[in-house]
Structure 1
């Protein structure tokens, strides 16, 4: 067996041109011919008894060769891998049958990943520790309070973070009054949370910016708001590129009320007795989380620095896996 090796640097693979003994492949062809002839009725011969030329004439030699290659490859590929003395990452692939006389095959074999470390001992990265601020503790406390928020109905006027319960009717402007399809919605109940000025309102429905147009309203108020929709595919076809008049009737206004941070509240929602115990626990937990994040971030920086000064080679099959 003759093997010509070519290292493919871009893909970290070996290209192998393998030339094998003719008699080995001829033997595989005869074995394949006998297997085929057992399942094919050839006039004048019992199953499996017809000679090679007669079977080849009857079923076509290409069929014999295809079946012979299956067993032939199973037999020679392990020998090829053993002879090249390389460690494949996974199974090789037959790229081409270059010749049948003599049998010459081209294989592509993925290689195990290789890592060549650079001068990692010289890497010096300072460890940066985060500090837990009073603001961090305040946010954690506020989150706890928010989880137990109550809602109270108020008279108004509506402010940021209030919930305005409305009924909305929408009609396409310039449409015929008797055109029912021009009605986008009729008395659609819709609770609207009024967002702060710096919050993202792009996902508000039925149009962005609705909530802040309700600032200052009171129960019983009615507003007429016009919104022009862009001519874009993401917009529903019935309102795309059109102006819609929305009539917004305000039914009631609700305010979210945060519970006071009293010992009684703390005892009802946590395992602590006092505000001091809760704050100390929150600080400890935030510090533990910060230390864990700092450590992980530090390790990531070290690995990034090692990778930057090292060479890593891997086959494309590894990415697919």
Structure 2
């Protein structure tokens, strides 16, 4: 068997494989026997017709095709063992020729590869997150909302009410279905407002917002869109209210929504009055009564600031770490086949569908997209995910990052106590005797560890990685070679000195 490997630009390889003619002839004989068992040839029992008779009946091409299909898989398995290619996914049989020797041509996607280049030189400025008094005030207001007294209201909607709604918001500065058709459809279902909200999803799939039973507090500082609370004022239970709002042309505040006009269809399902508690030391003591020493309002504000700062620091470091990973990926040399991108796109799509609790078919039907549209939508995120994963994997290997059994046990113990408390820790600890649970925990810890290390690299704070035994041997060989070369050069220098002395 003769194998030739041609690496192609799309990170695939073409494997050209010549086999002995006798091997293919045996495959044809076996293929003929298989075919003869399936066809009825006049004058012969199934499986008993001679090769020549069978070839005349079904055609030589059919026998060759059967032989290629049966033999191709065995040939390909042998090629994988003998060649130096690392294959990702399924091979494609591009061509088969009989002359001068039976020859298979396989096209195979290759495993992704990465060269990090000088990744340790990557630097990125880090901005410490800042928690303002306004952030603390917002957190306290949220705490007040959690302890508010809520009462149903039968009256019309007022500013300050909490309303439960079904809502659909669609951009009206894009092409929409014919208005006459939409109006007729609306009239036909005007008595079923719940249906109207879902019908709007079919009419205009490129929507901003589509939610059922969404709770909204109608205050100016927490609006979905500027003017939303005012537009809802006076609405009654069961009413379908339709209105258009335009976001101010302010990119800094509204980003991609700046200057866009949105039509909202809102069905009012519930109206509630809110009575907030008085913000004082009594309130602070009430919300911290489970602690050893209830807090005063000042202490509560300090506690909230500390918690916000800790959360902000965690988020900032995570965002910073992924930015560094992306920057490392930009200067790295990364190759991967398109099959990997498609597989990763499907994985991300499946995850998204699970989060939305909807099947892929239902999502495509509701959004009026095709499978290709959906794959295209996730194409760039898939590439970013692949590149990030390759960077992390390579740095883990290059830097010798690992999670030992002792470290894993310690983290599991801390996690169980934090989640379930000291008294129940032992009971829940048994969950992590499951191998899959342990590996999930190990993977999470490993990602956390490598991201922390990447942050240190970008800040110039990371220590040099320890050399492996193989790398130490290579370094020692290099030093020995330099020493030998140095010793060999010394006699030359001495000879030059002696020559100079004689001439003097």
TM-score, structure 2 as length reference: 0.45
Within the candidate set 183, 190, 199, 2:223 is matched to: 199
Map of 2:275 onto structure 1: 257
Note closer, same or farther for the CA distance 1:284–1:255 as it changes in structure 2 (3 Å cut): same
1:139, CA displacement in angstroms? 0.8
Q: Which has the higher helix share?
A: 2
Q: Report the CA distance between 1:24 and its aligned residue.
A: 1.2
Q: Within 1, Cα distance between the matches of 2:309 and 2:217?
A: 34
TM-aligned CA distance change 1:128 to 1:263, over 3 Å? same
Residue correspondence of structure 1 range 1-321 to structure 2 within 5 A: 1-9=1-9, 11-99=10-98, 102-150=101-149, 160-162=159-161, 195-196=219-220, 199-201=223-225, 210-211=231-232, 256-270=274-288, 271-272=290-291, 273-274=294-295, 275-321=297-343
Indicate the residue corresponding to 2:495 in structure 1. none
User: Contact 1:195 / 1:211 at 8 angstroms: preserved in 2?
Assistant: no
Indicate the structure whose relative CO is greater, using CA pairs within 8 Å and at least 6 residues apart: 1
Distance 1:46 1:162, change over 3 A: closer
CA separation of 1:35/1:265 partners in 2, compared to 1, >3 Å: closer, same or farther?
same
CA distance in 2, matches of 1:7, 1:141: 62
C-alpha distance after superposition, 1:96-147 (max 9, x if no partner): 2344663222211111111112222222223321122222111111001112
> How far apart, in 2, do the equivalents of 1:138 and 1:163 lie?
20
Q: Distance in 1 between matches of 2:162 and 2:336?
A: 57
**Structure with higher strand content:** 1
In 2: Cα distance, 1:115 partner to 1:67 partner: 40
**Partner Cα distance (1:314, 1:153) in 2:** 58
Native 8 Å contact 2:159 2:230 kept in 1: no
Deviation at 1:312, TM superposition (A): 0.4
Q: Which runs of 5+ in 1 are unaligned?
A: 165-180, 186-191, 216-224, 229-233, 237-252
Cα distance in structure 2, aligned partners of 1:82 and 1:75? 11
Structure 1 SS opposite 2:220 = coil
**Shift in Å, 1:291:** 1.6
Deviation at 1:94, TM superposition (A): 0.8
Gapped regions of structure 2 (runs ≥ 5) = 164-186, 192-215, 236-240, 245-262, 266-270, 344-504
CA distance in 2 between partners of 1:37 and 1:276 (Å): 91
Q: Provide closer, same or farther for how the CA distance between residues 68 and 203 of structure 1 changes in structure 2, counting only shifts above 3 A.
A: farther
What is the number of residues matched between the two proteins?
266
Partners of 1:137 and 1:5 in 2: CA distance: 64
Mapped to 1, the partners of 2:21 and 2:309 lie a distance apart of: 73
The alignment partner of 2:300 has SS state of: helix
Task: Specify the SS of the correspondent of 1:210.
Answer: helix
Q: Deviations over 1:66-87 (max 9, x none)?
A: 3212221122112222333211
Closer, same or farther: CA 278–75 of 1 in aligned 2, 3 Å: same
Partner in structure 1 of residue 210 of structure 2: none
SS of the residue 1:112 aligns to? coil
In structure 2, how many angstroms separate the alpha carbons of the residues matched to 1:129 and 1:262?
31
Whether the 8 Å contact between 1:99 and 1:105 is mirrored in structure 2 is no
